[in-house]
Amino acid sequence: MNLHILNSATKEQATHSFMQCCTSSAWVEAMVAGRPYADRDSVIKQASTVWENLAEVDYLEAFEGHPQIGNVDTLRAKYANTKELASGEQSAVNDASEQVLINLAKGNANYLAKFGFIFIVCATGKSAAEMLALLDARLPNDKAIELANAAEEQRKIFNLRLEKL
């Protein structure tokens, strides 16, 4: 898809395209309403501006659109929403040792229990061991800090997906 097609797409088509990048309905609605975009940079700027002005509930909605890293069942169920642009983002998990996967699953469960949302990390280019180290480093945080960390990781993810779009 190019910028011209995105700008001239129907509301439904544009909604579908932006939903591939981020599953926050408030973010998607604002991105659709922000059309037409003059250039790539204006899309990226709008995406970040909208994201910065959302509420916690909107962030949590976006996080729910992600599978848990290392959880194959969740990957299958949740990847359906974003699979067009998200393919390959967690491919490094496929090469992980069994112990790293077990530790990721345990860490994700601990993270979810502590914060009430799944561990979000921009997984592109990271091995499972690297993601496990990041998860372990972030687990001691308080919820406010971790919400900010997760929101920043979500921004990285939607920016990568916007580039693919």
Tens-digit pLDDT profile for residues 51-94? 999 999 999 999 999 877 766 555 344 334 444 444 444 444 44
Q: Which residues are known to be catalytic? A: 66
Rounded distance, CA 25 to CA 61, Å?
8
Residue 18 is encoded by which pair of tokens?
Answer: 């932006």
Rounded CA-CA distance 128/80 in Å is: 22
Q: Where are the alpha helices (DSSP H) in 66-121?
A: 72-86, 98-115
36 upstream amide cis, omega within 30 of 0: yes
Report the distance separating Cα 69 and Cα 67, nearest Å: 6
Q: Where are the domains of the chain?
A: 3-60, 66-149+159-164
- For residue 6, what pLDDT is reported? 95
* Euclidean distance between CA atoms 7 and 68, whole angstroms: 33
Cβ–Cβ under 8 Å, residues 82 and 18: no
CATH code for residues 66-149+159-164: 1.10.3330.10
* Collapsed DSSP state (helix, strand, coil) of residue 43: helix
Q: Are 162 and 21 in contact (CB under 8 A)?
A: yes
Give the pLDDT score at 46.
97
User: What is the chain's length?
Assistant: 165
Instruction: Record the pTM.
Output: 0.82
Q: Which residues of the chain have pLDDT under 50?
A: 75-94
Q: Give the separation between CA 73 and CA 58, rounded to whole angstroms.
A: 24
At which residue do the structure tokens 């800090």 appear? Answer: 145
Asked whether the beta carbons of 64 and 116 are under 8 A apart, the reply is: no
